[in-house]
Amino acid sequence: MSAKATVEAPANIAFVKYWGASDLERAVPWEASLSMTLRTCVSRTTVEHRPEGGGDEVLVCGAGGTLEPPERAFAGGVLAHLERLRRWAGVAGSFRVATENTFPTGSGIASSASGFAALTLAVVACLERRPPAAELSDLARLSGSGSAARSVLGGYVQWPADAEEGGTGETAAWPWTAVQVAAADHWDLRDVVAVVETGRKEVSSREGHRRAPSSPHYARRRELLAARLAEVRRAIEGREFARLWPVVEEEAIELHLIAMSSRPPIFYWQPGTLAVLERTRRLRGEGLEVCFTMDAGANVHLICAPAAEEAVAAAVAELGCGVIRDGVGDGPRRLDEHLF
Ligand code: PMV
């Protein structure tokens, strides 16, 4: 008999970025990162386990509810992760997978984080396994998308956890697991995404991680990260926007500085990106609690207080960008409705 489960997992936006890995295939980071889990930008994934086998099948939801074969690179990543999860669970048989995103895929809104978190959780659910969250986060990371390790948890999430919080290092039970540092209801922050570009980025995050150490600025970045992480954790703990924003913007700029100075260089920014950064600075000058950050793409996430959200969204629309209104969320959830 086949079993089916559907899980919705959100994307996340990092305040302290993961950029560069000591092991790219298994997404082992050099340093810890910290993100806010979102609630509107999500991946929904249905997985059916067929004990009789027949080969794995991966589909994406197209316009009008049709199920279509995905791009080859995406399918390859999903098939490899299914194989890994099959070994982890010690089961035979095959999986049928269908997935959809509520936001543009592969354009720097962490679709790999939400996608691989949803896939991992849906496989585990349809096999009726109940591992602890720490193990789930570690399993998601093995997909090769490190940020997926953060998307299995809600609120504000650090990955890997500090040693005393259960993470970091081969000797921990689940090495490089993530940990929630604060729940979503601890601090209601919003994320207004300025969609500058909906196309797929030309250079993948994987390639960006690979090139990062070739930047002459990368070694210095690694020296600075521990202090930044501590500052962001203090800001979250005390809900202090004034403490948070300088580090968040510094981190975003530095990720792109490293990308632009890698060999060969990577330029994710578009002219529209710079226009949004400039507008953000002006909004803050007018007294709004808002700051910018970006992942590996041209789009800009404007992190703001609830009171600033309306004005920030209006300003972004005025610049001619698409607007996605998001905010901190509680993390993945199981759905009763399946995609097939
Ligand atoms: O999880 P990956 O391998 O797609 O890398 C994500 C890297 C950034 O999104 C750019 C930064 C981060 O920490 O999320």
One-letter amino acid at 41 equals C
Residue 220, pLDDT above cutoff 90: yes
Q: How far is the CA of 159 from the centre of ligand 1 (A)?
A: 11
What percent of the chain stands above pLDDT 90? 87
Confidence of residue 168 (pLDDT cuts 50, 70, 90): low
> What is the CB < 6 Å shell around ligand 1?
14, 17-19, 33, 110, 112-113, 145-147, 205-206, 295-296
Nearest CA to ligand 1 atom 8: 295
Q: Please name the residues in contact with 275: beta carbons below 8 A apart, sequence gap of 6 or more.
A: 319
CB atoms under 10 Å from CB of 260, counted, come to 14
Q: How far is the CA of 160 from the centre of ligand 1 (A)?
A: 13
Beta bridge mates, 36? 13, 156
Model confidence over 16-42: pLDDT tens digits? 999 999 999 999 999 999 999 999 999
CB-CB contact of 114 with 43 (8 Å): yes
Model confidence over 251-301: pLDDT tens digits? 999 999 999 999 999 999 999 999 999 999 999 999 999 999 999 999 999
Nearest CA to ligand 1 atom 3: 145
The pLDDT value given to residue 201: 78
- How far is 331 from 175, CA to CA, in rounded Å? 21
Model confidence over 235-248: pLDDT tens digits? 999 999 999 999 99
| Three-state secondary structure call for residue 261 | coil
State pTM to two decimals.
0.96
CB-CB contact of 177 with 166 (8 Å): yes
Strands (E), the chain: 3-16, 21-23, 28-29, 33-50, 57-61, 67-68, 94-101, 156-159, 179-182, 190-195, 290-293, 300-304, 322-327, 333-335
Q: How far is the CA of 50 from the centre of ligand 1 (A)?
A: 32
Nearest ligand 1 atom to the CA of 113 is 1
Nearest ligand 1 atom to the CA of 17 is 13
Confidence of residue 200 (pLDDT cuts 50, 70, 90): confident
